[in-house]
Structure 1
Amino acid sequence: MTVFVVMGVSGSGKTTLGRKLADALEVPYAEADEFHSPENIAKMSSGTPLTDEDRWPWLRSIAAWIHDHEQQGGVVTSSALKRAYRDLLRDGNDDVQFVHLDGSRELIAERLAHRSGHFMPPSLLDSQFADLEALEAGEPGWIMNAADRPDEILAAVLQRIKLAE
């Protein structure tokens, strides 16, 4: 079964789409934020961007969740900003697909300005965009417009899944 990784910078709509996609596919869902260490959360909360060294243990935890759900499928969110991160998440599994929610800096900044209750401050957005490497031609997945309504994105993803079967 396929595990879908809904990816993008903070505020791109990963949680919203991830939950909707998991519900539509009737598979388990996991939120990447739940895999962060208390140290990473404290670091981001203070406005300090994570380094690769900070992210590797977090990514390995998400990769373990993906591995545990290979048979039943699932949906997990992750910023998955760099190709190397996505390679680790995929770990040779051909049944991992990425759904990249791509939006302009202006759109995402506006969303973050209106979001409350999340540990990542809007001040870290530029560091995420600086690290972001878009999906490349050889990577499994699709780039979706984060400016579209969540239900429109869901319908487009479900259509692509159906065509891929």
Structure 2
Amino acid sequence: MAAGHPLDDADRAPWLRAIGTWLAEHDGVGGVVTCSALRVTYRDVLRQAAPGCGSCTCRRAARCCASGSVRAEGTSCRPSLLDSQAATLEPLAEGEHGVTVDVGQPVDAVVDDALRGLGLSAQRTTGA
């Protein structure tokens, strides 16, 4: 991606398995992983490893990727890749454990909506 080329499913597979392993290792402890598990099949890989994990997707996906107020500085995602990300994004499927949040609001509200939608405590901590 840093070179401006979108990943394909073969590129994503080991990365998704590694994230699933991390989620499984933290089952019962809790944790948050941010990744672009854009397709239902990608989220299925994560749920196979950690059945209790939930997903948070963005309403206004292009804004999620493009807005300087939401996007972390220094990201390796080039603007030229935003179209492929938006084209790949699949909304949460019927029965898929997750929540869709509006990223057009302040970051604290996005986090609170995600926690509430996933049935998690609104109490949160920050850390490295």
Fold match by TM threshold 0.5: yes
Structure holding more strand per residue: 1
Structure having the higher helix fraction is 1
Map of 1:91 onto structure 2: 48
Residue number in structure 2 paired with 1:59:
16
Count of residue pairs brought into register by the alignment = 119
What secondary structure does 1:130 align onto? helix
1:63 maps to a residue whose letter is G
- 1:1-165 matches, cutoff 5 A: 44-91=1-48, 93-105=50-62, 108-111=65-68, 116-160=73-117, 161=119
1:19-65, CA deviations, whole angstroms, 9 ceiling, x for partnerless residues? xxxxxxxxxxxxxxxxxxxxxxxxx1111111111000111110110
Q: Distance in 1 between matches of 2:27 and 2:106?
A: 29
Identify if the C-alpha distance between structure 1 residues 49 and 71 changes in structure 2 by more than 3 Å, giving closer, same or farther.
same
TM-score (norm 1): 0.64
Unaligned runs of 5+ in 1: 1-43
1:2-23 residue CA offsets vs partner (Å, 9 max, x unmatched):
xxxxxxxxxxxxxxxxxxxxxx
Q: 2: CA distance between counterparts of 1:69 and 1:122?
A: 33
The alpha-carbon distance between structure 1 residues 115 and 92, as it changes in their structure 2 partners (threshold 3 A), is closer
Q: Deviations over 1:46-97 (max 9, x none)?
A: 1111111100011111011011101311111111101100000010644111
Name which structure has the greater RCO, CA cutoff 8 Å, separation 6+. 1
CA RMSD of aligned residues (A): 2.3
Runs of 4+ in 1 over 6 A off after TM superposition: none
Shift of 1:104: 4.7
Q: Shift of residue 101 of structure 1?
A: 2.3
| SS of residue matched to 1:111 | coil
